[in-house]
Amino acid sequence: MEIEKLKPTPSVKINDKDALVIVDVQNDFMPDGALGVKGGDEIIDSINQFSDKFHKTENVVILTQDWHPPKHLSFASSHNKRPYEPYESEGIGPILWPDHCVQGSNGARFHDTLETKFANAIIRKGYRPTIDSYSAFIENDGKTYTGLSGYLKVLGKKRVFICGLALDYCVYYSAIDGRNLGFEIVVLVDLSKAINSPPGQLSNALKQMVEIGVNFVKSENVTK
Ligand SMILES: [Zn+2]
């Protein structure tokens, strides 16, 4: 499925049961970073504007941060393999990555231009040496929770807007888990960018999200 074929919702009004999750806007996911996402830097100003608008409605804004220990099992270097080679084991895969977002490193920091002052919470994920976490809700073993769903449920949140990097990995897995956990999910299409590796990953991700009932919207069509 092509991104142009999505049918974004014409307009969405923010209500008090909403939350915003901004996924992994970190240096290593910028075009010149260790795991660069094309255009990743181009969406930050718009994310900031949206985050400001959302914050003004007194709803919670959550940032996620990929946060791996050195020699994390998701790194190709930990297996003497090349980045982006296929690899599957419990909690890891379907492919291996270049070393990225190592705890405390410059690559793991939020991009300098990302406005973090609107954030109520930061969820760090992938910090266990043998489990990766694409999703902001549940790590890749499918059973280790990050705590985000509990946080949102305690606050009475029903709908979660998601944007950031990358559309076909961390945004995608967050959207799927969010739906399975009973949240209404709205992906902000213009505030997300994809990796599309292996080829077809983005198309598959979009198809799966549509099938599970994720909604898509352009940020300009979300009103207070
Ligand atoms: Zn990672």
What are the pLDDT digits (tens) for 23-70?
999 999 999 999 999 999 999 999 999 999 999 999 999 999 999 999
**Ligand 1 centroid distance, CA of 221 (Å):** 31
Q: Is 102 helix (H, G, I), strand (E, B) or coil?
A: strand
**Residue in 24, 28, 66, 177 annotated catalytic:** 24
**Ligand 1 centroid distance, CA of 209 (Å):** 21
**Could you say which DSSP state residue 85 is in?**
-
Phi, psi dihedral angles at 53 (to 5 degrees): -60, -45
Global confidence as pTM: 0.97
pLDDT of residue 202: 95
**Ligand 1 centroid distance, CA of 167 (Å):** 14
**Residue in 132, 163, 170, 193 annotated catalytic:** 170
pLDDT of residue 106: 98
Give, in words, the CATH class of 3-69+98-223: alpha beta
**Ligand 1 centroid distance, CA of 197 (Å):** 14
24 catalytic residue (yes or no) = yes
**Residue 3 confidence (pLDDT) above 90:** no
Q: What is the mean pLDDT of the chain?
A: 96
**Residue 93 confidence (pLDDT) above 90:** no
pLDDT of residue 1: 83
3-state SS of 140-184 is CCCCCECCHHHHHHHCCCCEEEEEEECCCCHHHHHHHHHHHCCCE
91-104 average pLDDT score: 95
**Residue in 28, 125, 132, 193 annotated catalytic:** 125
pLDDT of residue 201: 93
13 catalytic residue (yes or no) = no
170 catalytic residue (yes or no) = yes
**Ligand 1 centroid distance, CA of 66 (Å):** 5
In the chain, what are the domain boundaries?
Answer: 3-69+98-223
**Ligand 1 centroid distance, CA of 132 (Å):** 7
Q: What does the pLDDT look like over 113-166, one tens digit per residue?
A: 999 999 999 999 999 999 999 999 999 999 999 999 999 999 999 999 999 999
201-211 vs 170-180: helix crossing angle, rounded to 10 = 20
